[in-house]
Chain A
Amino acid sequence: MQFDIGSHLASRVQCTIGSMTIKTWLDIATQEADRRGLPALKPLLETLARATASLRSADWNADATGQFETTTTRTDAR
């Protein structure tokens, strides 16, 4: 039996190949929303991208280098 891994997962696999910035994610997500016939999703994805940028910039986020991750800027969403 074959399983369709789904367009969402395919997009994420594609994301992980290159730099996984929020902008990259937003571009791919927007394209996929268009492909799925959901263009009205675009402004919501932009809202989500801004919220994600804010979440990632919070000072509780640790990173594997042992440093607190404080370099991600909220403008990363654009």
Chain B
Amino acid sequence: MPASAQTITDLARAIRAGETSAEAATERCLAEIVQRDPAINAFITVLADGARETARMADRELASGRDRGSLHGVPISIKDLFDVRDTRTTAASRVRDDRLAATDAPVVARLRDAGAVIIGKTNLHEFALGTTNEESAFGPVHHPLDPARSPGGSSGGSAASILADMAFASIGTDTGGSIRIPAAVCGLVGLKPAIGEISTEGCVPLSTTLDHVGPLCRSVADAGLLYEALRGKVARPSDAAQNRAPSRSAGGMRIGVLRDYFTAILDPQVAAAFESACLRLQEAGAALDTVSIPHASDIAPVYLHIALAEAAAYHAKALESRGDDYTPNVRLRLEMGRYILAEDYVRALNGRDVLRAEVNAAIQGRDALLLPSVPVPATRLGVTKVKVGANEEPVRNITLRLTQLFNITGHPAITLPCGKTAEGLPIGAQLVGPDGDTRALLGVAAALEPYFGPGTSR
């Protein structure tokens, strides 16, 4: 069996059954990194020695009766935006200095407290400002299923590390879709919790009011375990068993399907996979109806004015002093943000309130909203436009199109695999939960997961 073609839930059970150990699981991941990462480029820093030491300690603790929970001894990768003590935080940029972080970011500390083995820091789109990972000081990340394609971004190294069996899960950030986009095009589960639930301290910001932290992994149950750990809760093996057997069933669930803007521009294979998933959910007893967001056409302008203005505020000083050290396109997008007027930023904040109210209205009386995750499968590296039906769309715009709304509104959202293209490229669909209620979303996702369709997650 490949190093981590099993879930955290499965690994936790196997470790406690004596079928494997934290050290063995870690060694298998490290072996995959040695073998596969030169071609994939998912990692910026591999923490082999520290991972081995932590894994051995995890095994000793379990042997002595100390069980920290389901993440105990599980190899996990971290997007290189987070401080991990005694490592540099590169943000995939030459702009960052080589100073080593003195302490762990709170989310990393919580993972360590939960017993996780931090196996390395993953590559990303420079400063998380992009969806392909092509603009990285450390070179692009290649999709494990097709090296000519991007694994999506900006948490592309995170997704690739899981798909290539180099980690069991990863922690990413999501400002416009940067967890859900790579998870979707790599056939994984990616959770963006509700706004403000998970600490962003010790994480290089992109847009301070849109940034979210969350997990990429292979199942909804694993996403639940990681979500609780990131919040500082202890996830026990018994919790994993509960997560695997969801307390709710698909029958009787009310799901609002977002159409119009959200299905207007879809690759035909993505559209077909999404409609098949809708049919399967109905056959399972879920009640689906169509809902709309009246101001959906304003999503992109609202997002642009908030995201780039906030990013520009963070980067302005470095743009003046180290502008040439940015990759050219990231530099230009950040410079673009410096020209946004305060009055337009305020208009966008007002638009955020309008959109939040519309998403709340759409989900009112329903368990979740459903829509595709990314309109196209994994795009080819080196292209700036992609053909969707009869039209060509900018890669950046099309990949953000279906995810960025829920960064604006802060609703929790999760992507699950829902099929593959004829070429074997994964397709994802998103569920969106009630405002501030990530646990409710996870419950719905766990119940519906078996009906979403074939993916690569398990």
A52 to B346, CA, bound (A): 12
> Is residue B301 contacting chain A, with contact meaning CB distance below 8 A?
yes
A45 to B300, CA, bound (A): 15
B353 CB, nearest partner CB in chain A, Å: 8
Closest to A8 in B: B338
Q: Which residues of A sit under 8 angstroms from B344, Cβ to Cβ?
A: 52, 55-56
> Is residue B245 contacting chain A, with contact meaning CB distance below 8 A?
no
Binds A, one of B30-38, B50-58, B110-118, B329-337: B329-337
Asked if residues A55 and B335 are in contact (CB atoms below 8 Å), the reply is no
Q: Which of A1-60 contact B (CB under 8 A)?
A: 8, 12, 25, 29, 33, 38, 40-41, 44-45, 47-48, 51-52, 54-56, 58, 60
A40 to B336, CA, bound (A): 11
Asked if residues A45 and B348 are in contact (CB atoms below 8 Å), the reply is no
Given A12-B341, A56-B347, residue A48 in contact with residue B298 (CB < 8 A) = no
A51 to B347, CA, bound (A): 12
> Is residue B224 contacting chain A, with contact meaning CB distance below 8 A?
no
Asked if residues B348 and A60 are in contact (CB atoms below 8 Å), the reply is no
Query: C-beta contact mask, B313-352 vs A, less than 8 Å → 1, else 0?
Result: 0000000000000001000110110111100100110110
Number of A-B residue pairs having CB atoms within 8 Å of each other in the complex: 60
Given A51-B301, A54-B298, A55-B302, residue A61 in contact with residue B347 (CB < 8 A) = yes
Asked if residues A45 and B339 are in contact (CB atoms below 8 Å), the reply is yes
Q: Which of A33, A38, A47, A58 is B298 in contact with, Cβ under 8 Å?
A: A58
Q: Which of B238-282 contact A (CB under 8 A)?
A: none
Q: Which residues of A sit under 8 angstroms from B149, Cβ to Cβ?
A: none
Q: Is the interface of B mostly helix, strand, loop or mixed?
A: helix
A74 to B333, CA, bound (A): 22
Q: Which residues of B sit under 8 angstroms from A55, Cβ to Cβ?
A: 298, 301-302, 305, 344, 347-348, 351
A50 CB, nearest partner CB in chain B, Å: 8
Q: Which residues of B sit under 8 angstroms from A61, Cβ to Cβ?
A: 347, 350
Given A25-B341, A55-B344, residue A44 in contact with residue B354 (CB < 8 A) = no
Give the B-binding residues of A (Cβ under 8 A): 8, 12, 25, 29, 33, 38, 40-41, 44-45, 47-48, 51-52, 54-56, 58, 60-61
CB-CB nearest 3 A-B residue pairs:
A55-B301, A51-B301, A44-B336
A-B contact pairs, 12 of them (CB 8 A): A8-B338, A12-B341, A25-B341, A41-B336, A45-B339, A48-B340, A51-B305, A52-B301, A54-B298, A56-B347, A58-B351, A61-B347
Give me 9 other A-B pairs in contact (C-beta within 8 A), A12-B341, A52-B344 excluded: A8-B339, A38-B332, A44-B335, A45-B339, A51-B305, A55-B302, A55-B348, A55-B351, A60-B295
